[in-house]
């Protein structure tokens, strides 16, 4: 059976520095609050989609603070939660302790996982691996550590949904991406993910769903929250301020946030689209 080769390293890109910047980006602001306030429910969705059961060995790639890893451990799985950013792992440890579950936390790069071939029954990622800059390398690594017949699963923001559109609006104001890095929302396109996986998987299933968010009353509140709490937005604003374009960035993001904020049953509501995709390792 043929396999998809690992993507070549782009000439001239200092990936050590890139990864250091990624760590700093996700440590900026308050991503643990984003998880608590907004995206905790999607972790359970991914755990359900992967059919996690007691006794399975599970790797959560780019786990953040464990919004999928912790529910998997609650079900009795033997979970390793790995992430590039130690600050997020530390917060995940505290949350797991609060919930009375045990799992192993490991600082690790999604593009260079320090695990054996076929070590896990399941490898999944909830809005995490999509931010690894070299998508093919990250997909290759996730598949490598899954045993034959094991489960691959991802839950990612779609290009068409709110988060995807927010990244599109930020792109003209953000630092230039390093050569070889790919836009995160591509992971929300099922055809793109299937191409990354190639013929190394079978029984691929996917579905687009919506995260319902009722945390904000106005678009201005959404903007303020992301400027204060979300690492990618914080880094983009730092660059925009250095270029004198922060006001234009405000306008671009407010337009997206207004488009996605509606009133449902008298309550301001947002719907954030995401893709859930699972497959079996061939």
211 forms beta bridges with 272
Three-state secondary structure string covering 89-129: HHHHHHHHHHHCCCCEEEECECCECCCCCCCEEEEEEECCH
Strands 267-281 vs 261-264: parallel, antiparallel or unpaired: antiparallel
Separation of alpha carbons 79 and 138, rounded Å: 19
Separation of alpha carbons 90 and 98, rounded Å: 13
Question: What's CA 193's distance to the chain center, in Å?
Answer: 14
Is 9's pLDDT higher than 60? Answer: no
- Quote the percentage of the chain above a pLDDT of 90: 95
Is 11's pLDDT higher than 80? Answer: no
Is 5's pLDDT higher than 70? Answer: no
Structural domain spans, the chain:
15-159+177-213+274-281
125 forms beta bridges with 154
- Please enumerate in sequence order all residues whose Cβ is within 8 A of that of 156, keeping only pairs 6 or more positions apart, or say none: 127, 129, 130, 184, 185, 187, 188, 193, 274, 275, 277
CB of 145 within 8 A of CB of 221? no
Residue-wise pLDDT tens digits, 233-281: 999 999 999 999 999 999 999 999 999 999 999 999 999 999 999 999 9
Mean pLDDT of 35-52: 98
Residue-wise pLDDT tens digits, 118-142: 999 999 999 999 999 999 999 999 9
Q: Which CATH number fits domain 15-159+177-213+274-281: 3.40.50.300, 3.40.190.10, 3.40.50.150, 3.90.1150.10?
A: 3.40.50.150
pTM as predicted = 0.94
CB of 127 within 8 A of CB of 63? no
Is 10's pLDDT higher than 80? Answer: no
Three-class secondary structure of residue 52 per DSSP: coil
> What pLDDT score does 12 carry?
75
Three-state secondary structure string covering 24-51: HHHHCCCHHHHHHHHHHHHHHHHHHHCC
CB of 75 within 8 A of CB of 44? no
Question: What's CA 36's distance to the chain center, in Å?
Answer: 15
Buried b (16+ CB within 10 A) or exposed e, 178-202: bebbbebbbbbbbebbeebbbebbe
**C-alpha closest to that of 26 among 69, 89, 68:** 89
Residue-wise pLDDT tens digits, 74-117: 999 999 999 999 999 999 999 999 999 999 999 999 999 999 99
Residue-wise pLDDT tens digits, 14-31: 999 999 999 999 999 999
| Cα distances (Å, whole numbers) of residue 38 to 69, 212, 239 | 17, 9, 26
The per-residue DSSP string of 183-236 comes to: -GGGGG-HHHHHHHHGGGEEEEEEEEEEEEE---SSHHHHHHHHHHH-HHHHHH
Separation of alpha carbons 63 and 263, rounded Å: 32
The residue to which tokens 């991914």 are assigned: 46
At residue 7 the predicted structure's pLDDT band, cuts being 50, 70 and 90, is very low
Is 4's pLDDT higher than 90? Answer: no
Is 70's pLDDT higher than 70? Answer: yes
Structure tokens at 117: 């071939």
Residue-wise pLDDT tens digits, 144-201: 999 999 999 999 999 999 999 999 999 999 999 999 999 999 999 999 999 999 999 9
Q: Which of the pair, 5 or 111, is modelled with greater confidence? A: 111
């Amino acid at each position: 059976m043929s396999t998809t080769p690992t993507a070549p390293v782009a000439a001239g890109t200092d990936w050590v520095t890139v990864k250091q910047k990624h760590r700093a980006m996700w440590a900026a602001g308050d991503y643990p609050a984003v998880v608590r306030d907004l995206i905790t429910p999607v972790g359970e969705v991914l755990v359900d989609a992967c059919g996690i059961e007691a006794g399975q060995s599970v790797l959560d790639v780019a786990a953040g603070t464990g919004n999928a890893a912790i529910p998997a451990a609650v079900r009795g799985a033997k979970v390793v939660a790995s992430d590039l950013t130690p600050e997020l792992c530390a917060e995940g440890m505290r949350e797991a302790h609060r919930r009375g579950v045990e799992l192993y936390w490991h600082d690790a790069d999604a593009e260079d996982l320090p695990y054996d071939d076929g070590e896990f029954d399941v490898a999944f990622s909830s809005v995490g691996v999509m931010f690894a800059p070299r998508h093919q390398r990250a997909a290759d690594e996730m598949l490598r550590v899954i045993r034959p017949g094991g489960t691959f699963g991802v839950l990612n923001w779609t290009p068409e949904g709110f988060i995807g559109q927010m990244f599109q609006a930020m792109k003209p104001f953000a630092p230039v991406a390093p050569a070889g890095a790919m836009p995160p929302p591509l992971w929300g396109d099922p055809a793109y993910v299937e191409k990354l996986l190639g013929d190394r998987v079978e029984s691929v299933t996917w579905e687009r769903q919506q995260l319902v968010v009722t945390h904000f009353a106005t678009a201005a509140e959404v903007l303020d929250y992301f400027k204060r709490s979300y690492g990618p937005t914080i880094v983009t604003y730092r660059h925009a301020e250095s270029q004198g374009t922060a006001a234009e960035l405000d306008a671009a993001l407010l337009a997206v946030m207004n488009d996605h904020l509606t009133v449902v049953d008298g309550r301001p509501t947002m719907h954030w689209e995401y893709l859930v995709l699972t497959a079996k390792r061939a």
